[in-house]
Amino acid sequence: MREILELLERDSSLSHDTIATMLGLPVEEVSARIAEWEASGVIRRYKAVVDWESVDDAISREKVVAFIDVSVAPARGVGFDDVALRISRFDEVTSVHLVSGGHDLRCTVVGRDIRAVSDFVSQRLSTIDRVMSTATHFVLKTHKRDGDVFAEPEPDHRLRVTP
């Protein structure tokens, strides 16, 4: 039932009753599937997507996000996996992807400021065995993340229809 997973991925706050109604399934079946996926690790966790730029406090503005492209010398039998796993264990790293193109891995790193991200890259990331080079790209503004657009909705310019 891929549809259940797609609905939960889009909005994890949907109740089992609502999902069952939307898909025309018994609530018991939806609940059993979700429980099975949670137990087996298909569903890893539920989360909220927060627009931190809209939060009005000094702490939320102190966070810096960067994409770090990493070139790695592959090793026989493991390729890039062991380095990717090692990088993923750092608290500062929120995601690691094997990618095509000029670099091998793309990491998302969060720090309290530019200096913290710079120190992480120069002292911890670049010193890992087989890391050949890094390229850091700081996020200046987020327009869309996890399928959510961070912009004010456009006003409706349609003319009203009256009977």
| pLDDT at residue 58, rounded to an integer | 55
Looking at residue 65, its pLDDT comes to: 93
Angstrom distances, CA of residue 54 to CA of 13, 74, 108, 147: 21, 41, 21, 17
- What's the pLDDT tens digit per position in 82-134? 999 999 999 999 999 999 999 999 999 999 999 999 999 999 999 999 999 99
**153 pLDDT above the threshold of 60:** yes
Residue 19 lies in a domain: yes
Same domain membership, residue 14 and residue 71: no
Its pTM surpasses 0.85 = no
So what's the pLDDT on residue 159? 82
- 109 and 136 both lie in a single domain: yes
Shared-domain flag, residues 61 and 110: yes
- Are both 80 and 104 inside the same structural domain? yes
Q: Which whole-number Å values give the CA distances from 63 to 28, 44, 55, 119, in the listed order? A: 42, 25, 12, 15
63 shares a domain with 26: no
Give the model confidence (pLDDT) of 68-91 as tens digits.
Answer: 999 999 989 988 999 999 999 999
Assigned domain for 109 exists:
yes
C-alpha closest to that of 63 among 50, 76, 73: 50
pLDDT tens-digit series, residues 7-21: 888 888 999 999 999
- Is 14 found in the same domain as 92? no
Report pLDDT digits (tens) over 37-61.
Answer: 999 989 988 877 777 777 766 555 6
